Structure 1
Amino acid sequence: MKLDRYRKYVRAGVTAFLVLAASMIFYYLLFHQTSVRTAFHNVLNILSPLIAALILAYVISPIINFIEQRIIARLFARHRKTQSVRCKKLVRALLILLTYVAMLFALYGLIATLIPELFSSIANIVSNFSNYANNIQDFATKVLANYPEMQQTADQYISTFSAKLSNWLTNDLMPMLRTFLLNLSGQLVNMVTFFKNILLGAIVAIYMLYNKESYIAKLKKAVYALLGLDHGNAVIRDCQYVNQEFSGFLVGKVIDSIIIGAICYLVTSLIGTPYALLVSVIIGVTNIIPFFGPFLGAVPCLLLILLIDPLQALYFLIFVVLLQQFDGNFLGPKILGETTGVSSFLIIISILIGGGFWGVFGMIIAVPVCAIICTVCRNFANRRLEKHHLPDDDAFYFHMDHIDPETRQAIPYQKKKIDEAEVFHFPGYRLRKALTKLTTEESPVDAPYTPAKPSTEEKNSNSSDSDQK
């Protein structure tokens, strides 16, 4: 009983302590940003192997799950055999090893193919730039043969632009590449640290993938121990939804980009596009970025092909437009499905904000993050509408002027002039209005005293009492 008596004081003391602690932390973060930023970078450097392991395990886990559930489990079911625990562990270890080997071979093949192609392409452009400029000028001359004035203007612009670009390629770009290669040797310590973190992350990721069910079970147990049954179920369900949004979008986008890159390489090789492999890799990699990715990849590729063969550049432009229409209207929806459920307008806004804060990485994760935020806001709004006994269907609010407070029905929109005295009444307006009305009205205490006149019934009762007396 004594504890119950002092419990409210203990809560008040703990609340005051937490408020003071939060105020001190906020003050320190506000006026010591440099030291906080330095400490954050130090902690991030220390945790870099663990972060790399989490990212690598999160990327590889869907591949292992797919092979285990869709291939190996079906093979055992077809032969009517059951997997023992030892067999499952052995299969998991082999799958992790094979996945690592496949990723290393794919990375090596991509680098070994792309880097020499890139440097040879730049060297060919620099050495043959004058021929490319003449090709563009000849193409413009043929197209504008019937318009002498436009042809003369185009020749002047092409000559000026080609001279400036040739000067930049010779005097700026090639020295920049040489300086970059020299700086790579100077950044040897940073490169060793980076590869050390990647190697440690890959080793830690093996343990995470091998015992992922055990680690997930321990995390769930800790959540239920700290939050209880109801809140624990809510947190686990929210985490599952976040994982569904991120894994579904990222895995689907990677598969979509691989297919688009393969189609691009096949078609560009058939139509004779210069540097077909380099162009296809650029188109496939940039396709991971939603909405803006195809444009970011197509523009430099188009300029590169334009320098070599303007007619091939036209063919490539037509092909890229058709390819992106095929991806946006058929292939992308088939692979991604309704993974995000976010409108095109919100996708554009989220990509712009994510790219502004975190660059390319922010543009990639912007769509699933936006989907999660939209879900949170939509569920909160639906709960508030349910509390006020209002429908959450968007069609109810179309072409609506206002809602009748008595019938809760939508009143159709009517064009009318609104009085300025009826608008911008904020939540505290009614309370202030009621208080003002109470203070301005004359209270019964302040009013002068006037004796009330007795009614006829009271007079009759008083006279009868006097007669009895």
Structure 2
Amino acid sequence: MLQSKYFRTSLAIIAFLTILYLGSKVIFLFNPLINIFNLLLVPMMLSGFFYYLLRPLVKFLERKKVNRALAILLIYLAIVGIFVLFWMLVWPTLREQIQNFINNTPYLVQDIQSQITRLQNEPALSRFFQQDVELTSKITEYLNRAITWVTNSMTNLIGVVSSIFVVIATLPIILYYMLKDGHKLNPILVGIVPRKFRKEGHDTLKEIDSALSGFIVTRVLLNVILGVMLYIGFLLIGLPYALLLAVISIPLNFIPYVGSLLAAVPVVIVGFIESPTMAIWSVVIIIVAQQIQDNVLSPVIYGKSLDVHPLTTVLLVLIGGDFYGIIGVLIALPVYMILKIIVLKVYNIIVAERGEDIRTLEDEQM
């Protein structure tokens, strides 16, 4: 029976399920490790994000014969200078728009209802609203929900920023050592791999590093360009809170596909409160900017480095959000890219070994 492949496979499955069952009974032993993981996840994720974003600058300065530690400190000084410029030039306008939006939030529902009433009084639309009164009430209900979602999102965002302020304070320290000693990690990881597969392990780590670097850098570049295009478009049509809405759209668009829809919700609401025509023009601006990003900029900047089907991306976002909330949504695609590279590399190794075994067997038979 032990020579039967089916029997050995069944025993392996039973052993694996037994280990999972016993592990579930002592899960409390792993709670300290889980707490440490949750504590370190956000600062490590942010540090990794900025590591790939700033590493090209560090390498550029090193090529100019600048010491690595000094190059990192120079980049830190440049970042401080950017924040100072932001605080002096952008923050006053942004703060004013945030305060105005918060002050006008209680009147948003009334403004929406007045706009719907005005549409009902239009001769061209009056018959439509009279024939379907329930539709009008549903529109008001959905818009009220959208306003509540936007208000709660801003409140939750402020709460999240406040709660992780202490964690973010450790970010520069972690990032400094990642930029300084990050190049030493690959040899350590390759040393863990068996000697037979060290070349494949080195190639896999190099491919993962290249994929993550390209994804993060290009994603940041595309989202910043998109935010600038939206801001210019909002200014051209005279949309209120133009800077605030453009700034909100930049982080939301880091969420693939779903993020663009979430970013459009507050824009359409603000535009509709101003006038239905303004809402239509806001949608036009969003669509034009998204089309430029997807069809003009993305193929040039991304190329074929992100070979992920759109349906796969949507499923990854849903699964990541269900498992780990907003953090899961943000890391779902990078984690998928890493796992895809590893699985393909392991598959190629297995196929190559089977090919060698077949050739060896044929040589022996000859």
Offset of residue 124 of structure 1: 1.7
Structure 2: gaps spanning 5 or more residues = 1-14, 356-366
Q: TM-score, normalised by structure 2?
A: 0.74
- 1:56 Cα deviation from its structure 2 partner: 4.2
For 2:20 and 2:84, locate their aligned partners in 1 and report how far apart those are by CA, in whole Å: 45
Instruction: Check the 8 A contact 1:56/1:201 in 2, yes or no.
Output: yes
CA contact 1:340–1:368 (8 Å) conserved in 2: no
Aligned residues: 342
1:282 aligns with 2:248: yes
Q: 2:359 maps to what in 1?
A: none
1:126 equivalenced with 2:142 (yes/no): no
Instruction: Give the conservation status (yes or no) of the 8 Å contact 2:200–2:345.
Output: no
Residue 50 of structure 2 aligns with which residue? Answer: 60
**How many Å separate the matches in 2 of 1:344 and 1:52?**
27
Among 201, 206, 213, the alignment partner of 2:176 is: 206
What are the superposed Cα offsets for residues 144-177 of structure 1, whole Å, 9 maximum, x if unpaired? Answer: x2465423246675478659978998xx99x989
Equivalent position to 2:286, from 286, 305, 320: 320
Structure 1 residue ranges without an equivalent (≥5):
1-20, 77-82, 390-469
**Where in structure 2 are the equivalents of 1:183-194 lying within 5 Å?**
191=163, 194=164
Which residue identity does 2:50 align to in structure 1? I
Does 238-247 or 371-380 show the bigger shift?
Answer: 371-380
Partner deviation per Cα, 1:208-241 (whole Å, 9 max, x = no partner): 323444x43xx615743x4454433332322222
Counterparts in 2 of 1:93 and 1:134: CA distance versus 1, 3 Å: closer
Q: CA deviation at 1:377?
A: 4.5
Equivalent in the alignment of 1:371: 337
Q: What do you get for the CA RMSD once the two structures are aligned? A: 4.4
Cα deviation 1:51-87 (Å, max 9, x = unaligned) = 55543442333444333444674xx5xxxxxx37xx5
User: Is 1:220–2:187 an aligned residue pair?
Assistant: yes
* Structure 2 contact 55–179 (Cα < 8 Å) conserved: no
Q: Pick closer, same or farther for the CA change 1:139–1:147 going to 2, 3 Å.
A: closer
Instruction: Select which of 29, 32, 43 maps to 2:36.
Output: 43
Match runs of 1:171-320 below 5 Å: 191=163, 194-213=164-183, 215-216=184-185, 220-221=187-188, 223-224=190-191, 226-227=192-193, 229-320=195-286
The correspondence for 1:94, drawn from 63, 74, 77, is 74
The AA in structure 2 aligned to 1:32 is V
Q: Kindly tell me: are residues 59 and 157 of structure 1, through their superposed partners in 2, closer, same or farther at Cα, counting changes over 3 Å?
A: closer
Q: Partners in 2 of 1:139 and 1:326 — Cα distance?
A: 32
Q: Does 1:152 align with 2:130?
A: yes
Query: Alpha-carbon deviations, 1:15-66, whole Å to 9, x = none?
Result: xxxxxx9999645421233x24632343336x63xx5554344233344433
Change (3 A) 1:23 1:100: farther
More helix by share: 2
Alpha-carbon distance change, 44 to 276 in structure 1, aligned in 2, over 3 angstroms: same
TM-score if structure 1 supplies the norm length? 0.60
Classify the secondary structure of the residue corresponding to 2:121. Answer: helix
Residue aligned with 1:366, SS = helix
Distance apart, 1:128 and its partner CA: 6.0
1:344 aligns with 2:310: yes
Inter-partner Cα distance in structure 1 for 2:177 and 2:79: 14
Q: Which has the larger radius of gyration?
A: 1
CA distance in 1, matches of 2:251, 2:353: 47
| SS of the residue 1:288 aligns to | coil
Q: Does 1:30 align with 2:24?
A: yes
> Alignment identity in percent?
22
More relative contact order, 1 or 2 (CA 8 Å, 6+ apart): 2
Contact kept in structure 1, 2:320 and 2:329, CA below 8 Å:
yes
8 A contact 1:57–1:205 mirrored in 2: yes
State how far apart, in whole Å, the 2-side matches of 1:376 and 1:90 are.
35
SS in 2 for 1:327: helix
Asked whether the equivalents of residues 53 and 202 of structure 1 are also in contact (C-alpha less than 8 Å), the reply is no
Contact 1:306 1:312 in 2 (8 A): yes
For the residues of structure 2 that align with 1:357 and 1:157, how far apart are their CA atoms?
A: 35
